[in-house]
Structure 1
Amino acid sequence: MVDVGEARTAPVGRRAREVCARGTRLYDAARTVLEDHTRALEAVRSALAPLRDELVAKELESIPVARLKDATEGRLRLAAVEAAGLTTVRSVYEAGRFQLRQIPGVGAQTADQALAAAGQIARAVEETVSVRIDVDRPEPRTTALVVALHRLVEAGPELRRAVDTAAQLDGALRELLPAARPATGRLRLALAGRRRKEAALEATARLSELVADAAAKGTPLQLAQASTDLLRGPASDIEAWVDFELRSAEYYSQLAEVSEHRTDEAAAEGFLPSEVARRVHAQPLDDTHRRVSLRGYQSFGARFALAQRRVVLGDEMGLGKTVQAIAALAHLAAQGQTHFLVVSPASVLINWTREIRSRSTLRAVPVHGPDRQDAYAEWRERGGVALTTFDLLHTLPAPEGTAAGSRATGGTALDGAACGMLVVDEAHYVKNPDTRRARSIAAWTRACDRVLFLTGTPMENRVEEFRTLVRYLQPDLVPEIHDSHAVAGPHVFRRSVAPAYLRRNQQDVLTELPALLQTDEWEEFSAADQDAYRTAVAEGNFMAMRRAAYADPEKSAKLQRLGELVAEAAANGLKVVVFSYFRDVLAAVQQSLDEDTFGPISGGVPAARRQRLVDDFTAADGHAVLLAQIEAGGVGLNLQAASVVVLCEPQVKPTLEHQAVARAHRMGQVRPVQVHRLLATDSVDERLLRILENKDRLFDAYARRSDTADATPDAVDISDATIARRIVEEEQRRLAVEKAD
């Protein structure tokens, strides 16, 4: 509030008119953004409505009319309605009052009660149905929805910030502009009463501050960019579908936000006690340094990490624990923190680096390899997110101080800086406190005020492991953790350990999301991988280049990551199918996994034998692994028992990947399917993806898509020889340059 003394110094006359004019322009810009955004949202809702109505109608068609009695506690008499042929809730819901009244024996009260009960059921169904977009079967209605969503997705996360800014300006300027108007003329101000005069001067002073602050923050440009993004002409059908395939998760995130689809709130909050949930909801989450929108449960997870300070985030694999951790780091960066540390297995370090750089404005600093000490020193000096591995952490200088002593500065002392948060990925790696890696983690957790452990392994099944993890974080909670809580069920266990543990399952929170979750697992070649790869490149052997990452199974970075994915799937009771183009790669996979596997299914296996392998895999109780050559297992077999698919290498023909994934992601699949593609940086994998993800190539594939094309991969794929020759030549030039250097 501006006091009267300050108000007397407010601009009057010409200066006030200039301030009001600038305020009016800002107000008009804010209103324009809000109106354009509303129109964009309405376009999505209009496209969504017929798809959702159809799903609701189908569901109501399957519900017998007798269910209307349940909604009225048995008071409704339906014999006459059923006799008239209205045997489902849908038939009653669509009949209307007039048609029902025409049925002999149905009075006004019965008709009204039946319609009210049908409407109640329809609303309940509408909250549960989920519209899914099938990229392989585009039709006019889903195309309209994808095109409408494209405008919002293309605008990016900056649009949400612009809309929030516009809403704040709209509320403030709506009051300030009329109140300041008397100050725009000296005569008008003189004729105003004392109270109106003081209010006008105060409003003008506040308006001047608001306009100046907006200019300093670049708000006019932000609003102009948002309007430009929202007013772009609609994308072509092909452009929208191609973009959807490249970033479908962002489309579904927008769809969930626009449709306001409600998941089970208690499940989305991990069945936390109400007092903990309230504290989490009260925690703000600044998105200034974040480049990705969060789904509701992900926002809650990031807030939980911030509000509870030292916790385990144990979401089931595929729910985006990394994104939630990055959101928490981005918030702390906006609050002034400059240094963060992420510790992970070596197999996911490159993924963390890529995710931080693509999903935030934070600076990622890999601290590994021969130059790790220099990188660590640079991080201590300049800040950012340092990324290192469990096995290298002990080689870095130990942190100073304790968590209690560091709270005054916000974290661990690092040459005068502070470590704002320690993130430990795959935290079950430190379940044995006697190991060197565990001791290193313990030293850092004692020194850091904020610590976030990530693990996809359900702690309910490993209570003693969980006690170990909690000892690092909240030791006072350990005596409260009893085996009996886990025996009583997962919900009871989670409530008992709520201050330190949050876990959500896919089936609870992914009802509005795609049934297909794709993750690229980037790895760096091991020394053995690199030697095999260089030899293959020198020989110009494209196929050997593609499988060089598996040349030495005991030292293969890809196989190490595959083992971790399989282990996590096993912990969650999920079935896995592993695809590769190469038989020898599947043999290496089979050799590396510490468990019995089904298969491999290959071209030399008779069809009847293939089906028996699939049947045995499907009938296996709980977790199981099936190995399949992608050209043999990717066609003609139904693998919907699998909810995790691992692709050992990218395919030259994208349709091979699509067909293979479709074996699991199909009718009858009751869980979201996770697809993990194993990729090596600075290799044939990266070059191949650059070619295959080129939008011109995808445009061509979509434009020529037909039943024939779907049935024949060659119909939409450019020459294998062309791709191979191009990549071999590129890699020979690159490695020759590196060798010369």
Structure 2
Amino acid sequence: MGRGEREAVGRARELAGAAARVVEDHERAVDAVRDALRPIQEELVERELDTIPVARLKDVTEGRLRLGELEKGGFRTVRAVLDAGPYRLRQTPGVGQRTADQAFASARQIADAVRETVAVRIDVDRPEPRTTALVRALHVLVEAGPQARRAAETGAGLAARLEALLEEARPVSGALRMLFAGRAGRLRALAAVDELRRLVEEAERDGVPQLLAQTSVDLLRGPDTDLAAWVDFELRASDYYGLLADISGRGPDSAAAEGFLPDDVAARVRQQRLDDGHLRVSLRGYQAFGARFALAQRRVVLGDEMGLGKTVQAIAALAHLAAEGQSHFMVVCPASVLINWTREIEARSTLRPMPLHGPDRQEAFADWKGRGGVAVTTFDALRGFPTPGGGELALLVVDEAHYVKNPQTRRTATVTAWAERCERVLFLTGTPMENRVAEFRHLVRILRPDLTEVADGQDAQASVAGSKAFRKAVAPVYLRRNQQDVLTELPSLQHTDEWEELSAPDEEAYRQAVRDGNFMAMRRAAYARPERSAKLQRLRELVGEAADSGLKMVVFSAFRDVLGTVQDALGAAGTPLFGPITGSVPPARRQRTVDEFSAATGHAVLLAQIEAGGVGLNMQAASVVVLCEPQIKPTIEHQAVARAHRMGQVRPVQVHRLLATGGVDERMVRMLETKSRLFDAYARRSEVAESTPDALDVSDVSLARRIVEEEQARLGMAAAEPV
């Protein structure tokens, strides 16, 4: 055979070798993680089995197992039975072979069940050799990035095809082989060479040899030191935990990951293909399902709880459509998170973000119309752009979509007009309903008017049946997952209500605010006399405790003057302070403040107005959150806490809410419990376990008026018109 055929075979053999090597390198890196993980998992399993009494073995055998003699023999826990084994169990007086075998088999079943559910949490503050080995092993795969998995998958498929064709093409390696191959064999060999040549040329055109070579290098490169691995883990904990969940198979329950959707909807979503070629990050299973949900259902609300990565799920949907050849996308968001969106798109995908904001936004819009990309703009700026033609926009993403809950506002009218011209629309909101079920219904109505006709027929606030029927009616358009269901590695979240008795000056300021009928002054009266403020004193103590432990803290308040008082008090004590972040601080400066706070060494305190800092900014560096006063809407508090307690957090989060006894705080906390139950019934849960007949529709104004009137009556004051 000619030189050309032998060269084609040689190039194919080199490519097959590179493909096989990258598969081996990836498997070796994955096995290293499994090897490091195994002893940690086994210790956790043993600890758990040590807490399970031996009586639980009866559950496995439906009560048929007699355990009295085993317990008399000193076997108190399931672990003790497992450690003993069948032989030692049979040596126990009164225990026969059948009982020993059944007890041991039952213990193994329980151990297997525990092994399937135990979650490994890596304690960044207590590194020890085994967790260090795990972090180092994970570091290799995290550093190699999601392209390592893609390269391994590409390599596995390519190696299999090339090796089969190389076997067919073996006769071309020599004239004698070709002679003995026979006519049919020669034809097969030549056809195989042609196919090898085509595959190699196609791979070279797509840059596959370079991808395979670079990935092999990346997978052989570990961290320089243990410290470097731990530092990287703290910075990219969500990436580490995501890989750990994939490799260990310890992902969340599939029904929870799919938001407990009806079977027919979930099945349709699972069938949706997801092309992640334009992504620079690996998706968790529930995130991939969220992106598929948006693609399969076309016009949806993604209502995941704060901290689960709604942004990256939206970017994954955009990336898939871009891979299919779509070119124009639009993201609409509050001004406070516009910078964050552009950064996330750049960091997590190969897509090109184009901010349409500021004085040059019309020029930027014209550029985007011509070249395409992901336009990122604000609700206010969107009004200045012409609505798209049919089919012009591949996907409209609306972040913090509860901003368009009121059909009477211009903002809502503009978004509705754009949504009507787009085949695909994705609303993102962790708080789809704050005060009124009607608000959430309006979001659904923008997307699917046909569904709200069904939902509107339900008695939405009368009973548990109403909320169940409502969730079922909107299932094709609404997906929500909660942190506790899908983030098994998330550190604990501890809420503490810090009840304080008002000091005499506090009480005086409070009574004056009640006398004036000034609800807002009542809420911040506890800070009106800083020198004797009981709440401020408790805040100082909490800051001191955080400083002693070297922890970062975020302090939220709805009021700028309260933040000013806190700033003066903590600044005088020499506390490292950042902020305050308020509504008047430009979005870019807000993000820089958070970045500087995160980069600070050791203890620091970030001050933020809750409506400005509690939305869109990620504050995982903080593990202590203080709320200076209760908020009018429970979702505002949830959002603020979720800025710290979210994917990527590596430490337990402590939340302290400063409350004053006997006044507005007590009444607000009691009333807000009702709002939380309403939200749970209609938006958070897939099923509701208890009736909520008292889930009243309470607006902010009526709530304030009721509290003022009740406090005036309690304190024996003449009624005044509330301010």
- 1:566-624, Cα deviation, whole Å (9 max, x unpaired): xxxxxxx98899xxxxxxxxxxxxx9989947976999679xx56996xxxxxxxxxxx
User: Residue 429 in 1 paired to residue 403 in 2?
Assistant: yes
User: Residue 115 in 1 paired to residue 104 in 2?
Assistant: yes
User: Residue 62 in 1 paired to residue 51 in 2?
Assistant: yes
The equivalent position to 2:155 in structure 1, one of 166, 174, 186, is: 166
Q: Give the whole-Å Cα distance in 2 for the aligned partners of 1:191 and 1:86.
A: 73
User: Residue 686 in 1 paired to residue 592 in 2?
Assistant: yes
The equivalent position to 2:422 in structure 1, one of 448, 452, 461, is: 448
Instruction: For 1:239-258, list aligned pairs within 5 A.
Output: 239-258=228-247
Q: Give the whole-Å Cα distance in 2 for the aligned partners of 1:493 and 1:638.
A: 47
Query: Contact conserved, 2:444 with 2:474, CA < 8 A, in 1?
Result: no
The equivalent position to 1:371 in structure 2, one of 360, 366, 381, is: 360
Q: Give the whole-Å Cα distance in 2 for the aligned partners of 1:595 and 1:389.
A: 34
User: Residue 140 in 1 paired to residue 129 in 2?
Assistant: yes
Distance 1:435 1:114, change over 3 A: same
Match of 1:465 in 2: 439
Stretch deviating more after TM superposition (152-161 or 322-331): 152-161
Match of 1:302 in 2: 291
Stretch deviating more after TM superposition (224-233 or 462-471): 462-471
Task: Tell me the TM-score normalised to structure 1 length.
Answer: 0.69
Distance 1:99 1:193, change over 3 A: farther
Match of 2:272 in 1: 283
Instruction: For 1:8-407, list aligned pairs within 5 A.
Output: 12-400=1-389, 406=390
Query: Contact conserved, 1:270 with 1:494, CA < 8 A, in 2?
Result: no
Q: Give the whole-Å Cα distance in 2 for the aligned partners of 1:423 and 1:29.
A: 41
Q: Give the whole-Å Cα distance in 1 for the aligned partners of 2:274 and 2:531.
A: 55
User: Pairwise CA RMSD of aligned residues?
Assistant: 3.9
Query: Contact conserved, 1:485 with 1:496, CA < 8 A, in 2?
Result: no
Q: Give the whole-Å Cα distance in 2 for the aligned partners of 1:118 and 1:184.
A: 60
Q: Give the whole-Å Cα distance in 2 for the aligned partners of 1:602 and 1:259.
A: 55
Q: CA deviation at 1:493?
A: 4.4
Distance 1:77 1:421, change over 3 A: same
Q: Give the whole-Å Cα distance in 2 for the aligned partners of 1:51 and 1:228.
A: 29
Distance 1:484 1:180, change over 3 A: farther
Query: Contact conserved, 1:601 with 1:633, CA < 8 A, in 2?
Result: no
Stretch deviating more after TM superposition (180-189 or 340-349): 180-189
Q: CA deviation at 1:72?
A: 0.9
- Partner of 1:283, secondary structure, is coil
Matched AA of 1:686: R
Distance 1:131 1:260, change over 3 A: same
Distance 1:679 1:239, change over 3 A: farther
Matched AA of 1:213: E
- 1:174-207, Cα deviation, whole Å (9 max, x unpaired): 3222122123334423422454444333322222
Query: Contact conserved, 1:30 with 1:223, CA < 8 A, in 2?
Result: yes
Query: Contact conserved, 2:139 with 2:222, CA < 8 A, in 1?
Result: no
Match of 1:714 in 2: none
- 1:664-688, Cα deviation, whole Å (9 max, x unpaired): xxxxxxxxxxxx9x99666598389
Query: Contact conserved, 1:343 with 1:389, CA < 8 A, in 2?
Result: yes
- Partner of 2:331, secondary structure, is strand
Query: Contact conserved, 1:576 with 1:646, CA < 8 A, in 2?
Result: no
- Partner of 2:54, secondary structure, is coil
Matched AA of 1:480: V
Q: Give the whole-Å Cα distance in 2 for the aligned partners of 1:92 and 1:432.
A: 62
Q: CA deviation at 1:631?
A: 3.3
Q: Give the whole-Å Cα distance in 1 for the aligned partners of 2:332 and 2:555.
A: 26
- Partner of 1:262, secondary structure, is coil
Matched AA of 1:497: V
Q: CA deviation at 1:646?
A: 5.5
Q: Give the whole-Å Cα distance in 1 for the aligned partners of 2:153 and 2:525.
A: 53
Match of 2:676 in 1: none
Q: Give the whole-Å Cα distance in 2 for the aligned partners of 1:20 and 1:60.
A: 57
Matched AA of 1:281: R
Instruction: For 1:484-523, list aligned pairs within 5 A.
Output: 487-488=464-465, 493-515=470-492
Q: Give the whole-Å Cα distance in 2 for the aligned partners of 1:426 and 1:317.
A: 11
Task: Tell me the TM-score normalised to structure 2 length.
Answer: 0.71
Matched AA of 1:502: L
Query: Contact conserved, 1:679 with 1:685, CA < 8 A, in 2?
Result: no
Matched AA of 2:221: R
Q: Give the whole-Å Cα distance in 2 for the aligned partners of 1:574 and 1:274.
A: 36
Q: CA deviation at 1:446?
A: 0.9
Q: CA deviation at 1:385?
A: 1.0
Q: Give the whole-Å Cα distance in 2 for the aligned partners of 1:491 and 1:198.
A: 67
Distance 1:128 1:691, change over 3 A: closer
Distance 1:333 1:235, change over 3 A: same
User: Residue 634 in 1 paired to residue 611 in 2?
Assistant: no
Q: CA deviation at 1:365?
A: 1.1
Could you tell me which runs of 5 or more consecutive residues in structure 2 were left unpaired when the two chains were aligned: 499-517, 558-562, 603-723
Query: Contact conserved, 2:452 with 2:474, CA < 8 A, in 1?
Result: no
- Partner of 2:46, secondary structure, is helix
User: Residue 478 in 1 paired to residue 452 in 2?
Assistant: yes
Distance 1:391 1:36, change over 3 A: same
Q: CA deviation at 1:460?
A: 10
- Partner of 1:135, secondary structure, is coil
Query: Contact conserved, 2:51 with 2:77, CA < 8 A, in 1?
Result: yes
Matched AA of 1:153: V
Matched AA of 1:285: L
Q: Give the whole-Å Cα distance in 2 for the aligned partners of 1:484 and 1:78.
A: 53
Q: Give the whole-Å Cα distance in 1 for the aligned partners of 2:397 and 2:39.
A: 44
Question: With CA pairs under 8 Å and 6+ residues apart, which has the higher RCO, 1 or 2?
Answer: 2
- 1:14-49, Cα deviation, whole Å (9 max, x unpaired): 333222221221111111111111111111112111
- 1:340-396, Cα deviation, whole Å (9 max, x unpaired): 101111111111111111111111111111111111111111111111111221111
Q: CA deviation at 1:399?
A: 2.2
Q: CA deviation at 1:456?
A: 0.5
Q: Give the whole-Å Cα distance in 2 for the aligned partners of 1:58 and 1:294.
A: 31
Query: Contact conserved, 1:271 with 1:494, CA < 8 A, in 2?
Result: no
Distance 1:687 1:421, change over 3 A: closer
- 1:503-538, Cα deviation, whole Å (9 max, x unpaired): 00111111134558xxxxxxxxxxxxxxxxxxxxxx
Query: Contact conserved, 2:305 with 2:480, CA < 8 A, in 1?
Result: yes
Q: Give the whole-Å Cα distance in 1 for the aligned partners of 2:521 and 2:403.
A: 17
Q: Give the whole-Å Cα distance in 1 for the aligned partners of 2:280 and 2:585.
A: 24
Distance 1:201 1:254, change over 3 A: same
Distance 1:198 1:499, change over 3 A: farther
Distance 1:601 1:180, change over 3 A: farther
Q: Give the whole-Å Cα distance in 2 for the aligned partners of 1:376 and 1:426.
A: 22
- 1:517-561, Cα deviation, whole Å (9 max, x unpaired): xxxxxxxxxxxxxxxxxxxxxxxxxxxxxxxxxxxxxxxxxxxxx
Q: CA deviation at 1:291?
A: 1.2
Matched AA of 1:464: A
Distance 1:207 1:595, change over 3 A: farther
